Amino acid sequence: MSTPARDTNQASVTLKALAGPAGGALSLLARTRTVVAQRFRQMLAPAPTPAREFSAGHTTAGSWVGRALLFSFIAMVMAPTLTASLYYGFLASNEYVSETRLTVRAASEDKQSGPDSLAVFSKLGLGGNKATVQDSYLVLNYLKSRSVVEDIGGDEYMEQKFSHSGIDWFSRLPRGRPIEEVWKYWTYHVSPVIDALSGIVTVKVYAFSPEDAQEIAIKILDLSERLVNRVSERSRAAAVKEAEAEVERAEHELVATRSDLQSFRNQSLTIDPVAKAASIGEMMGKLLVQRSEIENQILTFSGALSANSPTVRNQKNQLDAVDRQIAELKKQLTSTGENDRPVATELSTFEQLKLKEQFSEKKYTTAELSLDRAKLDLEKTKLFISLVVEPGLPQYPLFPERGIDILLVFAVGFVSWGILSLISASVLDHLI
């Protein structure tokens, strides 16, 4: 009994001699080992409590503590471990894992730029290829949600895959359960995990046959694809709708300005006041030339002929007529009379209307162009699922991990038994 203790003591002495500067710590270690060894022997031996010293007469005192320990050990450690071994050894159904990895990508690489691009794009954030990690989260959340269970076929499909009699009773999905419970079962058998850096979603499907695992994984891929299509379709529809509304607005505006212009023309009885003004100007120019010619002649003849000669009189009459015509034309251009519609006023109104028309024409063509582009670009920015790892057909059942699971049951049992019995032992220390 004392030999090992002496050995350890000797060991500690040797260590101290050998270790030099680190000797302090080492000797502490060695001493600790000695004490631990002694304590361990004392613990294994019946505890030397005062109770035992007092009740030395009771031969049963030690034995019922031992028996209680043994029974509780059997009940809390051995029985669960044995049950677990039996279950994992003979009953538990094999689980096959099919893994697939996917990520969500947008096709478009080009950026929206140029003067014609609509504000709609920047609002919806559709240009470019940026939101893919977020879109992967979309898939992740969908795969964890209740609606994926409903989409895959609900109770019926799940029972077909997880409720048949080939699966052991504990792992089986009970029949006729509400969707919430089926969903919970789903979360135990389908585990999607995302890598936030790359946006790659890894989906593992645990099923009870290799074919089922692969089939469910493929279905999951299909459903994710449909989800992503649904989402991008919806944003696509929204963008095109916005562009179409823009075109309609521009069209209305153009029609309105055109009809304004038309009614103006009808009122002013001119097709184009600009042309009218030009023709008046031209006429005036001609008249002015004529006038200066007449004045020249009058000046030329004034030395030779008397002022009352018929030629001069005739020329003066002509000059008067030309002056009257010029005055008349001037009046037409700029008169401010009440009933008159001078060409200058008409011109400014007309030019405003014309400008408006030009603007709305430009707007309309831009809107039309943008609509075309929206349709085209959205075709390009369509989201799609790209497969990193295809769902494979598992060959070997990875689960249940029988050895580890049995060990785990043993560890849980042993630790809880240990804690309980150690606390009970502390109570029994106070045995009188």
Partner 1 sequence: MSFIEQSSQPTARILQAMKAQGRIVGALMLRDMRTRFGRSQLSFLLALFWPLSHMLSLFLPFVWFSKYVPLGGSPSVYIATGIAPYILCMYPARMVSMAITVNHPLLMFPIVKTTDLILARIAVEILGALVVISIFVFLLVAFEVDILPPDPAIAVSAIFMSIVLGVALGVLNVVVVSIFKFWQFIFMAVMIVMWVTAGSTTVQFNYSEQTKYLLSFNPLLHLVTWMRSAYYGDYSAIPLSKAYVMGVSFGSLFLGFAGDRLLRGRVLLQ
Single residue of 3, 339, 395, 426 touching partner 1 by CB under 8 A? 426
Work out the burial of residue 208: count CB atoms within 10 Å of its CB; fewer than 13 is exposed, 13-18 middle, 19 or more buried. Answer: buried
The residues, any chain, with a CB within 8 Å of residue 335's CB and separated by 6 or more, are 342
Do residues 200 and 102 make contact, with C-beta atoms less than 8 angstroms apart? yes
Nearer to partner 1, 358 or 416 (CB): 416
Least CB distance to partner 1 at residue 380 (A)? 29
By CB under 8 A, the residues from 88 to 147 that bind partner 1 are 141, 144
Single residue of 1, 197, 271, 299 touching partner 1 by CB under 8 A? 197
Do residues 23 and 13 make contact, with C-beta atoms less than 8 angstroms apart? no
Least CB distance to partner 1 at residue 147 (A)? 15
The residues with which 417 forms a beta bridge, in sequence order, are none
Least CB distance to partner 1 at residue 418 (A)? 5
Single residue of 2, 59, 60, 113 touching partner 1 by CB under 8 A? 60
For residue 20, give the DSSP letter. G
By CB under 8 A, the residues from 398 to 417 that bind partner 1 are 415-416
* Angle of the 154-162 helix axis to the 179-189 helix axis, nearest 10: 50
Q: What is the DSSP string of 288-337?
A: HHHHHHHHHHHHHHHHHS-TTSHHHHHHHHHHHHHHHHHHHHHHHHH---
By CB under 8 A, the residues from 333 to 352 that bind partner 1 are none
Task: Determine, following the binding rule CB under 8 A, whether residue 36 of this chain makes contact with partner 1.
Answer: yes
Task: Determine, following the binding rule CB under 8 A, whether residue 40 of this chain makes contact with partner 1.
Answer: yes
Task: Determine, following the binding rule CB under 8 A, whether residue 387 of this chain makes contact with partner 1.
Answer: no
Q: Is the dihedral of CA 211, 213, 219, 222 positive or negative?
A: negative
Task: Determine, following the binding rule CB under 8 A, whether residue 384 of this chain makes contact with partner 1.
Answer: no
Task: Determine, following the binding rule CB under 8 A, whether residue 431 of this chain makes contact with partner 1.
Answer: yes
Least CB distance to partner 1 at residue 180 (A)? 16
The rounded distance, in Å, linking the Cα atoms of 97 and 115 is 53
Token pair listed for 74:
């059997």
By CB under 8 A, the residues from 138 to 157 that bind partner 1 are 141, 144
Least CB distance to partner 1 at residue 364 (A)? 44
Task: Determine, following the binding rule CB under 8 A, whether residue 423 of this chain makes contact with partner 1.
Answer: yes
Least CB distance to partner 1 at residue 25 (A)? 9
Least CB distance to partner 1 at residue 432 (A)? 6
Nearer to partner 1, 376 or 430 (CB): 430
The rounded distance, in Å, linking the Cα atoms of 49 and 63 is 14
Do residues 399 and 70 make contact, with C-beta atoms less than 8 angstroms apart? no
Radius of gyration of the chain (CA): 51
The residue ranges that bind partner 1 (CB under 8 A) are 28, 31-32, 35-36, 39-40, 43, 50, 54-55, 58, 60, 64, 141, 144, 193, 195-197, 415-416, 418-419, 422-423, 425-432
